[in-house]
Structures are given as structure tokens and as C-alpha cells.
Chain A
Amino acid sequence: SQQGEEDPQALSIQEGENATMNCSYKTSINNLQWYRQNSGRGLVHLILIRSNEREKHSGRLRVTLDTSKKSSSLLITASRAADTASYFCATGPGNTGKLIFGQGTTLQVKP
């Protein structure tokens, strides 16, 4: 069964707007990661946030983590057409060697 659930499943915005995607999970975690997948390609790691962190930034990406609510959000600011992709959250429960991926959010950025 999937650990992470992304919301929304699909998102369509105009270039320049901000995009927010949410991820909820069920069990305690060691860390949470976000990945991007362009159509027909493999996943690419974006950012990792540890369970003792609340917010992390990387360029136009901002990730928050609320362990009390078992949720995370990914914000992409000033979106570009090149940001069009599917975005997945993945959780590391800790000491398992594995990540558990959610079903993803498909983002379309219209030029």
C-alpha cells in the first residue's frame, strides 16, 4: 500500500504563478523527499527534508513538513513551462533501506 498521498492529483496553472502540492503520509518517518518526473523519463531528486526540520528551500522550491499532521507541501514559485512534470513525495520510515512513493501530482504550466 502507498504511504504518501499527493493532493491534488492534477494541477494546471499559468506561467509565473505559484504551484503548491501536498503530501500526506501514515506512519512516522525519518525523512521526506520530493522527486520530479518529466514525461517518459526517470525520476529526479529535488529536495530532502528530515523529520526534525520544518522548512527547507532550494532555488524556487520551498518544502514544509508538519510531522504532527503527517503532511508536507512543495511550493514552486514563479513557475515556468519547463516545470511541467509529475511530482512525487517519498517517505523513509527509517531503518528499512526503502522509500515509499506516493501516486504523484501532475503539474501543467501553460506558457
Chain B
Amino acid sequence: NAGVTQTPKFRVLKTGQSMTLLCAQDMNHEYMYWYRQDPGMGLRLIHYSVGEGTTAKGEVPDGYNVSRLKKQNFLLGLESAAPSQTSVYFCASSFAGEIYEQYFGPGTRLTVT
């Protein structure tokens, strides 16, 4: 099993450009999450999904959109990238909610210039 995979691993964008980060899991997990990690800030939840076709806002959702069309995939979109979105983005999945452990992907390092 590959677990949780993220594509791409690195990306550099110019201000105003758009991109989509892809997260895939092969563990048949219901819940999926997108976090961003900034120095000294820990992990902050952007959006999450409790099942195929559902999405919900997390702590810092502004400037991001998500979609969960298939159970195994969770996409994070940046419509118009800003320098403040420079960060490391992590995807995670869990069997069913906060009473279960989360499995994390390796991260995507995004720089917006």
C-alpha cells in the first residue's frame, strides 16, 4: 500500500497563478484533510471532507477550494495564488474522524513569488 501520496512535491508559482494539489489515499478512508504548515505555527486545517462528495471549511479556508469527487482523492485548489500562501501543504486521511489516527502524506512545498 502506498498510503497517502501527494502531487506535486515542489512547486513555484507567480502571484495570481492557479494550481491544484492532488492527494490520493489507498486505505479506503472516509475522512480526508488539507493542512498548511508554516514556521512556528504548527499545522492549520484548511478544508476537510467526511466522505465522498462532501467538503467543509477548516481554520484557514480563505483563498482555497477543495473537491472530493472520488473517495480516494482530495484536491486542493488555489485560484489566484498570493505570497501569503507560500507554505508546506500536507494531506491526511483517517478511517472515520478524530477518534482515529491520521495518516499523512509527504507534503508539497509551495512558493509563491
Contact = CB atoms under 8 A, between A and B. Distances in A.
A59 interface: no
Contacts of A40: 107
A42 B41 contact: no
Contact of B102 (A45, A102, A103): A45
B74 interface: no
Interface in B30-66: 31, 33, 35, 40-45, 48, 50, 56, 58-59
Contact of B104 (A43, A94, A98, A100): A43
B99 interface: yes
Interface string B87-100: 00010100001110
Contacts of B97: 92, 96-97
Range, interface on chain B:
20 to 34
Interface string A89-101: 0101110111111
Interface in A2-34: 2, 30-31, 33
Given A43-B90, A45-B101, A98 B106 contact: no
Interface of A: 1-2, 30-31, 33, 35, 40-45, 48, 88, 90, 92-94, 96-104
25 contacts: A30-B98, A41-B106, A42-B90, A43-B92, A43-B102, A43-B104, A45-B103, A48-B101, A88-B42, A92-B97, A92-B99, A93-B98, A96-B97, A96-B98, A97-B31, A97-B48, A97-B50, A97-B56, A97-B97, A98-B45, A98-B48, A98-B58, A99-B98, A100-B45, A101-B42
